[in-house]
Amino acid sequence: MTTQSVTIPALLGGSFSAYLAAPSSQPRAGIVLIQEVLGVNKNMRQIADNFAKAGYLVIVPDLYWRLEPGVQLDPDDEKHWTKAFELLGAFDLDGGVEDLKATLSFLRQYPSSTGKVGSVGFCLGGKLAYFMATRTDADANVSYYGIDIDKNLAEATKIQKPLILHMSENDEYVSPSAQATIQQGLKDNPLVTIYRYEGVNHGFSRVGSSAYRKEAAELAGDRTLAFLKQHLGC
């Protein structure tokens, strides 16, 4: 496996950096890995490396680049969370989706890519993975504890490719009523699979953080890998 920083031309002008992790095998299917509110931090790079070890070409774009390039925040530092929510409040969601479209195109055209590319996102990235399903032609999408999906269900009619939603029963940022709204709104869509994990909080897959819950994280991880293998190959 190799890692490097690459530069992606933005569709709206300018360019942004991304972390790229490539397996030794080829050709490779691709994953656009979408950051949490904490930026492209150590945790996101480790997730990218793990997917690369599983045989995927993985890219993590810096979606905060218009606000502050290179953000890397610590999930167990309270001041860093304050900063994260400030960035989230200023984040241009539609611009972020355009950057993800540019990243998707970049990865599809990358040497040794099979052209099959999906997305996996966490938290803010989980919301954006849902938008990858509704606004792009990504081949498969996985959302971990995505925020505000309940407020954007009108877009669900645009879903053309398979989507998984991993939801935390005790998510502090997605209320029980919001979760019920999501489940009700998507239950008849054959392309959407929802998994709900009992007794865990937002961030249950964030290794090394206080929110991490090993059993749920490993189950979600196994389901994600099986789903990606089915729809992207490897």
What is the CATH number for 55? 3.40.50.1820
Which pLDDT value is given to residue 95?
A: 96
Indicate which residue of 99, 150, 171, 231 is catalytic.
Answer: 171
Which of 133, 121, 175 has its CA nearest to residue 158? 133
Cis peptide before 69 (omega within 30 of 0): no
Res 27: pLDDT: 83
**222 in catalytic set:** no
Q: Answer yes or no: is pLDDT of 26 > 80.
A: yes
Q: Which residue is listed with tokens 């045989």?
A: 55
At 153-191, the pLDDT tens digits run 999 999 999 999 999 999 999 999 999 999 999 999 999
Task: List pLDDT tens digits, range 107-150.
Answer: 999 998 999 999 999 999 999 999 999 999 999 999 999 999 99
Say whether 14 sits in a helix, a strand or coil: coil
Place of tokens 């489940």: 183
The answer to whether residue 166 is catalytic is: no
> What is the distance between the terminal CA atoms of the chain, rounded to a whole angstrom?
15
Which pTM does this prediction carry? 0.96
Angle at the Cα of 165 from the Cα atoms of 98 and 101, rounded to 5 degrees = 15
**Cβ distance 38 to 31 under 8 Å?**
no
Q: String of b and e for 136-166 (b: at least 16 CB within 10 Å)?
A: bebbbbbbbbbbebbebeeebeebebbbbbb
What is the bridge-based pairing of β-strands 57-61 and 141-144? unpaired
* pLDDT above 90 for 204: yes
- The catalytically annotated residue of 80, 166, 202, 231 is 202
Q: 38-47, 72-81, 128-137, 175-184: lowest mean pLDDT where?
A: 72-81
Whether 87 and 62 have beta carbons less than 8 Å apart is answered as: no
Residue range(s) defining the domain that contains residue 46: 2-232
Cα–Cα distance, 68 to 79 (Å, whole number): 17
- Number of compact structural domains in the chain: 1
